[in-house]
Structure 1
Amino acid sequence: MLIFSTLSYIYRRTDDEVEALYESWLIEHEKLYNALGEKDNSFQIFKDNLKYIDERDSVLNQSYKLGLTKFTDLTNQEYKLIYLGAKSSGDRRKLSKNKNDRYLPKVGDNLPETVDLRKKSVIVDVKDEGDCGCCWAFCAVASIESINAIVTGDLISLSEQELVDF
């Protein structure tokens, strides 16, 4: 049985509940493991991530909740390598030393503490690029979609594939 405490919050899941949740998660996300021990390893990572999700969601007054996704069987390192194009520190490009204060607030500016662009209808729903390697296209299209929505007031979802095919 998984038992842990966060800020006097105690969350309990039996081993059977966790296993049933894992099995339904496998079906929902069409996960198949072929190598010997691969499913057991995936289950251990799933349990660790589930514990983290439960701990984070138990904190009161958060503006968000975490949940199970198709990535729940990946460690942070695996996720970074597969989906974020993580490279060793030796491969990283050095950031420009030329600093620009163009976007810094000016003296006397009265800026809000936060801005939720979803409520302003200037961003489309999250898109899943999968592992196509064209994150640049998703970034470019998201920027164009938002700029268009800000300027015209019309939020249109554009196709990354058309940009890649061009």
Structure 2
Amino acid sequence: MAFHKNLVVIAIMSTILGAMALRPAPSNDEFNPSTFLKPFEQWMAQFGRSYTDIAERERRLAIFVKNLLFVNTFNNQGNNKTYKLSLNQFSDMTKEEFLRRYTGFEAPNVTSNSSNIKSFGYQDLSETDVPTRVDWREKGAVTPVKEQGVCSSCWAFSVVATIEGITKIKSDQLISLSEQQLVDCNRDDINRGCAGGNMEDAFKYIEANGGITTEENYQYKGIDDTCDTTKTNDYAAKITGYEMVPPNNENDLLKAVSMQPVSVAIDANADEFRTYASGVFSGNCGTNLMHAVTIVGYGTTEDGIDYWLVKNSWGESWGEKGYMRILRNANPPEGLCGIAMYPSYPTATAMAPTPSLL
């Protein structure tokens, strides 16, 4: 289904945006939203959009056109860009709406000194211990891309992806685990379900709870619901704690990712981030950490561009089938978009297969 949606988006872009690119300067008519009614209706059909009334439809059409023109302008600026943009499921939303609904990282109030945080375990890895390229998908340690929906639960998806990864590494089982358990049950002053949360707090909850259950047992709803304690006690994976990668150090982050998927926070405020389609993202962005994702690999393109491989939670219609490659070894020590500012990963011992899952 996601592949079909991408084909339709490509068709819309090539027909409408390609025609616009042939003209040196758009006329006023091209900025009239009604000019784009047909592609808007095609986009609505493919992404299942409907609106309550004509006024809302017209408002969304105007936003769609603005986003479409932004994508077209960016993609036609020249060939020196390392990435491309495209229409996607967010194309009828303002930036403010998008950020409010589809991010959700909450920074901790103070730097934690919990005994759960051990020293950085991969500090002593040498350059020869770290491969030049890692893709944990190829090692079977990454579940299919998921979708958080209109719920600021990115923090839960980021944490779950890292535990899915370490569980595969330690037990040779790839198990899809439950984000909804975290949304419903990991509630305190920091983690507030669909109102946002923090990865450290989630790791602490999972360790204290004794583990986390499967996606199948505790299915994702994308809403705040009552914690089902019966389901939370049916553990499918356990952790012994978590570790923080030293902040603002992409070399240490590389060491960690070479060993397992790593949870990170990122600045997703840029319009280019929201409309990212392919390539190595190298856009302008700051360090206002607001979204949580998972680094599941790294590498270097044929053109010599170093990148991080990031798994997102916005479904397969966004980016490279749900993934982003983002510039690695950027000049700022915090990494591009702050990707090296707040990395963490779960720790676990060797785990025997869970009988109920065999």
Give the shorter-chain TM-score range: 0.5 to 0.7
CA distance in 1, matches of 2:179, 2:81: 33
If asked which structure has higher relative contact order (CA below 8 Å, sep 6+), I would say 2
**Higher share in strand:** 2
1:38 aligns with 2:56: yes
Q: Determine the structure 2 residue equivalent to 1:126.
A: 145
Q: Determine the structure 2 residue equivalent to 1:96.
A: 111
2:102 and 2:151 in contact (8 A); partners too = no
**What is the correspondence of 1:11-90 to structure 2 with a 5 Å cutoff?**
18-35=36-53, 37-57=55-75, 60=79, 65-85=84-104
Provide the secondary structure at the position in 2 that maps to 1:23. Answer: helix
Residues 97/124 of structure 1: CA separation in 2 closer, same or farther (3 Å cut): closer
Residues 135/62 of structure 1: CA separation in 2 closer, same or farther (3 Å cut): same
The amino acid that maps onto 1:128 is E
1:124 and 1:157 in contact (8 A); partners too = yes
CA distance in 2, matches of 1:44, 1:30: 18
Deviation at 1:125, TM superposition (A): 1.9
Aligned residues: 157
Residues 106/43 of structure 1: CA separation in 2 closer, same or farther (3 Å cut): farther
Percent identity between matched residues is: 31
CA distance in 2, matches of 1:80, 1:133: 9
Which string of whole-angstrom CA distances, capped at 9 and with x for unpartnered residues, describes residues 108-141 of structure 1? 5254566433333321221112235554543333
Q: What TM-score comes out, normalization by structure 2 length?
A: 0.34
Which residues of structure 2 form unaligned runs of 5+? 1-15, 181-217, 220-226, 233-358
2:105 and 2:155 in contact (8 A); partners too = no
1:141 and 1:158 in contact (8 A); partners too = yes
1:80 and 1:86 in contact (8 A); partners too = no
1:148 and 1:155 in contact (8 A); partners too = yes
Q: What TM-score comes out, normalization by structure 1 length?
A: 0.64
Residues 75/104 of structure 1: CA separation in 2 closer, same or farther (3 Å cut): farther
1:124 and 1:145 in contact (8 A); partners too = yes
Q: Determine the structure 1 residue equivalent to 2:348.
A: none
CA distance in 2, matches of 1:124, 1:44: 37
Deviation at 1:80, TM superposition (A): 1.0
Deviation at 1:149, TM superposition (A): 2.0
